[in-house]
A and B are shown apart, each in its own frame.
Chain A
Amino acid sequence: MPSDDISVKPSWADEVDEFDLLPLETFTDENGIKTIIEIKTNDDGKKVKVTRKIKKTLITEYVNKAAAERKKWVKFGDERGKKVGPDLSTTSIGEQIYLKLSSTGKQHTENVEDHDASKKKQLLLGKKILCRMCKGDHFTTKCPYKDTLQPLEELSTALQETTKETQPSTEPIQADSSTTGKYVPPGMRIGSTKPSGDSYKERRDDSTIRVTNLSEDTTDSDIHELFCRFGSISRVYLARDRETNVCKGFAFVSFALRDDASKALQAINGYGYDNLILRVEWAKSST
């Protein structure tokens, strides 16, 4: 019989219908919380119960009478005849940004750095930090010759003797580097008005840490949450895949103060997060 055939071989459309027909319960309790209980079949073919609770709150905002009146105005000009509500072609929502207010502004940071300079040096001495550039007792990123010696790795050893004797003066060495044939942007060339932001930029660079071994579903705000306890964060960059927009597994976090960054580095390195053990290190300068 033809009807038997149909029951044996249900079409794919019927199959889909079957899923939708699984029991769906909705009820609203006395507090106005709506509960939706669904039973779905997941990708593995297993049945799962999904309970969703929705609470709707009506927030009444009081606005000026004239302003309320203006909300009813008809659109005009290029917007004439368009429907009410923001148009996606002209209005969009930007990425989450943070305004961290603190008294340790830019000027303050400088002061703090000055005060802590001697203390820091002692700390560094104890740790036997050796600069890869000039073999001085500071971080490589802090090296006064960082910009000039980096491209001339071989030269650095030769120059080392002379630079140790003379007080650090960057100008003559800079002149050397310009003759090596490496492209120097016009704004950076000697003789051009040196942008005042140089020192500022360096400071930003050396208070940046790189976090690796992050799980795929980490978001910017996760990173922010994880690190904000150590101090004021000036930037969070989470590398994402261009197509899928999932985290690529690493992120850069810039702190306002280097001390905060090193605190974070020590605390979070090796910290278990999302079943993975995070690895934190100083970010290498991009220049």
Chain B
Amino acid sequence: MRPILLQGHTRSLTQIKYNREGDLLFSVSKDQIVNAWYSHNGERLGTYNGHVGAIWSVDVNSMSTLLITGSADNSAKLWNIQTGKCLHTWEFKTAVKRVAFSEDDTMALAVTEQRMGYPGTIVILSINSDIEAQQSDEPITIIRPEGPKAMVADWGNINKYIITGHEDGSIALYNWKDGEKLNSIHPHTGEITDLQVSEDRTYFITASKDKSAQIFESNTLMPLKKYVTDAPLNSASITPIQEFVILGGGQDAMQVTTTTMRQGKFECRFWHRILEEEVGRVKGHFGPINTIAVHPDGKSFSSGGEDGYVRVHHFDNDYFKFKYPELS
């Protein structure tokens, strides 16, 4: 396969995301720009300009009308996807590290950083799906987790709970309505860098700096699978069609100059989701991979790296024909 290289950013990528149909790909980076791309040919549809700090996170609603971004300029912004216009700005005391729309698009969560004396919080915002409508400034509720700060978060299935991943490698389940912590486990020994839910949100995968990725059940936090690699991981994604997970990461950017390129391990690793065995690798990035997203139809995937590139890979036919020898 020949990857499509998207050069829309001048600094490292922080998150990429497909919309529900997978025809659009959104990328955010530390260079303060949000880019929208057509995923089939890599054409840039437009940019969303307005943030004045590094952008940490992006999410798109299921109708592909609204886009939410969280930035280090202490704000989260809501955008009209079609026109690139900023519809609303929520101001916070600290940087917004993660944003995510709820399953029904009526809410969004924003994880704010613990810094400058302010505790880290998870703010639930009310979203009006009508583009013309005025958005409410007042959050529905604010969850204040205790202990190590939350790095990533997402919604569980049918908006019942919120799953958070923390700096110390623990995962917690919150009832967002009253902010009560229902369950908490400590499966990782390093910082949790990514948390992606499955299509039906009944299970999710976490990536951690402790070089492993794990799959858990959403409602019970029961560990299901574990993938142990040899490099710190920054992202993990679940693939439809083939039962794989794609893991990405590599040596920390600050460590890169002390070793050779080959030791960097800047490859996307494909692991068999069920058998927990590595099945293949895709290389290409010059630096650690920060974020991976899989097209909802499972026929392509994209990776964004510290090197500022997004690489869109459309799988060859061989990929779909592959059968695990021990299973067939």
Contacts and interface: CB of A to CB of B under 8 A. Distances in A.
A41 B130 CA distance: 67
A85 B43 contact: yes
Nearest to A103: B325
Interface in A71-112: 71, 73, 75-80, 84-87, 89-103, 105-108
A128 B189 CA distance: 48
Contacts of A71: 23, 38
Interface in A191-209: 195-198, 200-201, 204
B298 interface: no
A99 B258 contact: no
B280 A79 contact: no
A42 interface: no
Contacts of B47: 76-79
Contacts of B38: 71
Contacts of B3: 93-94, 97
Contacts of A95: 2
A187 B21 contact: no
B255 interface: yes
A185 B6 contact: no
Interface string B92-121: 000000000000000000000000000000
B5 A91 contact: yes
Interface string A164-190: 000000000000000000000111100
Given A77-B46, A77-B84, A101-B319, A107 B8 contact: no
Contacts of B280: 99-102, 105
Given A101-B318, A204-B262, A91 B6 contact: yes
A63 B278 CA distance: 33
Interface residues of A, number: 48
Nearest to A64: B21
A67 interface: yes
Contact of B23 (A64, A79, A201): A64
A193 B281 CA distance: 26
Contacts of B262: 197, 201, 204
Contacts of A56: none
Nearest to B262: A201
Contacts of A63: 21, 23
A70 interface: yes
Specify the main secondary structure of chain A where it touches its partner.
loop
Interface residues of B, number: 57
Contacts of B2: 93-97
A103 B230 CA distance: 18
A66 interface: yes
Max count, chain A CB within 10 A of own CB: residue among B42, B43, B316: B43
B132 interface: no
A78 B49 contact: yes
A79 B64 contact: no
B45 A75 contact: yes
A186 B283 contact: no
A89 B9 CA distance: 11
Given A93-B5, A204-B262, A197 B270 contact: no
In the A-B complex, the 8 residue pairs with the smallest Cβ-Cβ separation, listed nearest first, are: A77-B47, A105-B278, A187-B258, A76-B84, A76-B46, A67-B23, A91-B42, A77-B46
18 contacts: A67-B21, A73-B82, A76-B47, A77-B84, A78-B47, A86-B41, A89-B7, A91-B44, A92-B5, A93-B5, A103-B277, A103-B279, A103-B324, A105-B277, A105-B278, A188-B259, A197-B259, A198-B263
Interface of B: 1-8, 21-24, 33, 38, 41-49, 63-64, 82-84, 230-231, 255, 258-260, 262-263, 265, 270-271, 277-284, 311, 313, 315-316, 318-319, 322, 324-326
Interface of A: 63-64, 66-67, 70-71, 73, 75-80, 84-87, 89-103, 105-108, 185-188, 195-198, 200-201, 204, 234
